[in-house]
């Protein structure tokens, strides 16, 4: 099978490798679509260390090809979306539904081989059957959408809440869509580029503002004391302090952005507003339904608007072009996918 291997900063090598075989409790999946995530770009640029020969890609969907011993409930050819985790299933975190915090977890495309290859093996518990309305390219969008669902569940998003989203990359835009689908009465967002602004409006934002100081002031006024602020930028920006500015008294802040260095906050705002801040890491099962299941249902109900997030599609043999496009926002890219 063909596999794209990381070969150093901004470099890939396409090689023929053996097709893996599913072990007990695993399935072999024919990968059909893999999204390029912001965290993938950190590896791509060399910001985060990864050894040469590693396989990136954790936003994956495909078709069941074969089942290992002990796996039931799936049939060959069924379309599935894939969670990225392999976990122990026995520790306290796993038993409580917080398997994303399992101390022995492995993540496909993070510290275990990912999906930029024609076939991959995954635990059967990491597969979610896709409904007829959701094809594989939409299925690969379910992973980042589940991240947003989890972040909104952590802050107990309530029907009628006013929500402000900082950032309009893929996660920010999906947070707009998820907040609207989960009952927010008003959703505002900040965006840097015109194509991000247009997409935020298409996905249900009531107001979109610049990411400048003036834009934050306008968002703060329009949100009228946001019940929930979703921070999606991370990096080394000032967005966590901006979230404290935008959030209302007693409000909640969900941090989805991955910060790469320490940031400064003004503690007095916590004190005066009694604001609460929640770090949000991937997704889990907080109740009867997992974050991933809710993401798939949102995708089923809003398939075509969410499909517009996919702005660029590349075959596997153009993996370098795919990552270069994702890394250059001037390309108009929102979500870049690799089709296999």
The helix (run of H) or strand (run of E) holding residue 317 is none
| 228 within 8 A of 164, measured Cβ to Cβ | yes
Q: In this model, does residue 275 exceed pLDDT 80? A: yes
The answer to whether the beta carbons of residues 273 and 249 sit under 8 Å apart is: yes
Reading the block at residue 338, the tokens are: 């690799």
Q: Is 42 exposed, middle or buried (0-12, 13-18, 19+ CB in 10 A)?
A: middle
Q: Which two tokens stand for residue 26?
A: 């695993």
**In this prediction, what percent of the chain has a pLDDT beyond 90?**
91
pLDDT in tens, 81-129: 999 999 999 999 999 999 999 999 999 999 999 999 999 999 999 999 9
Q: Which pLDDT score, from 0 to 100, does residue 103 have? A: 96
Q: Which helix (H) or strand (E) holds 209?
A: strand 207-210
pLDDT band at 260 (very low <50, low <70, confident <90, very high): confident
- What is the predicted pLDDT for the residue at 270? 87
What's the confidence (pLDDT) of residue 300?
A: 97
**Span 143-176, pLDDT tens digits:** 999 999 999 999 999 999 999 999 999 999 999 9
| Residue-averaged pLDDT of the chain | 96
Token pair belonging to 135: 């094809």
Give the Cα separation of 41 and 327 in Å (integer).
Answer: 7
**CA distance linking residue 134 with residue 172, whole number of Å:** 21
Q: Which of 303, 321, 339, 338 is nearest to 36 (CA)?
A: 338
Q: Please state, in angstroms and as integers, the Cα–Cα distance from residue 48 to each residue in 23, 83, 288, following that order.
A: 30, 22, 35
Residue 80's DSSP bridge partners are 62, 129
The fraction of the chain above a pLDDT of 70, given in percent, is: 100
Identify the band that residue 259 occupies on the pLDDT scale cut at 50, 70 and 90. confident
Model confidence pLDDT, tens digit, residues 5-62: 999 999 999 999 999 999 999 999 999 999 999 889 989 999 888 999 999 999 999 9
Rg over alpha carbons for the chain, rounded to the nearest Å, is 20
Element (H, E) at 273: helix 267-273
Rounded Cα distance, 171 and 167, in Å = 8
Q: Give me the domains of the chain, ranges plus CATH numbers.
A: 2-141+309-339 (3.90.180.10), 147-279 (3.40.50.720)
Separation between Cα atoms, residue 293 and residue 83, nearest integer Å: 11
pLDDT for 331: 87
Beta bridge partners of 33: 61, 339
Q: What is the pLDDT of residues 307-335, one digit of tens each?
A: 999 999 999 999 999 999 999 978 899 99
pLDDT of residue 49: 86
């Amino acid at each position: 099978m063909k596999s794209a291997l990381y070969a150093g900063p901004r470099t890939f090598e396409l090689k023929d490798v053996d097709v893996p075989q599913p072990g007990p409790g695993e399935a072999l999946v024919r990968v059909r679509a893999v999204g390029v995530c912001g965290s993938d770009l950190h590896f791509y640029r060399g910001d985060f260390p990864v050894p040469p020969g590693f396989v990136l890609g954790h936003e994956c969907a495909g078709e069941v090809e074969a089942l290992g011993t002990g796996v039931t409930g799936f049939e060959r050819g069924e379309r599935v979306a894939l969670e990225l985790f392999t976990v122990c299933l026995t520790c306290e975190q796993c038993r409580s539904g917080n398997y994303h915090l399992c101390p022995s977890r492995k993540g496909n495309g993070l510290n275990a081989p990912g999906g930029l290859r024609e076939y991959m093996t995954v635990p059967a518990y990491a597969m979610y059957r896709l409904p007829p309305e959701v094809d594989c390219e939409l299925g690969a969008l379910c992973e980042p959408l589940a991240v947003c669902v989890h972040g909104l569940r952590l802050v107990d998003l309530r029907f009628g809440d006013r929500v402000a989203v900082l950032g309009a990359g893929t996660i920010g835009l999906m947070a707009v869509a998820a907040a609207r689908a989960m009952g927010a009465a008003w959703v505002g967002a900040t965006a840097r580029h015109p194509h991000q602004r247009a997409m935020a409006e298409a996905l249900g934002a009531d107001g979109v503002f610049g990411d400048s100081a003036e834009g934050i002031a306008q968002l703060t006024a329009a949100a009228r004391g946001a019940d929930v602020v979703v921070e999606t930028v991370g990096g080394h920006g000032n967005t966590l302090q901006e979230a404290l500015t935008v959030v209302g008294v007693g409000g909640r802040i969900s941090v989805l952005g991955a910060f790469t260095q320490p940031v400064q906050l003004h503690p007095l705002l916590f004190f005066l507003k009694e604001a609460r801040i929640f770090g949000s890491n991937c997704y889990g099962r907080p109740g009867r339904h997992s974050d991933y299941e809710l993401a798939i249902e949102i995708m089923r109900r809003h398939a075509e608007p969410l499909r517009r997030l996919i702005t660029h599609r590349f075959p596997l043999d153009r993996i370098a072009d795919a990552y270069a496009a994702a890394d250059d926002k001037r390309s108009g890219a929102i979500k870049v996918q690799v089709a296999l």
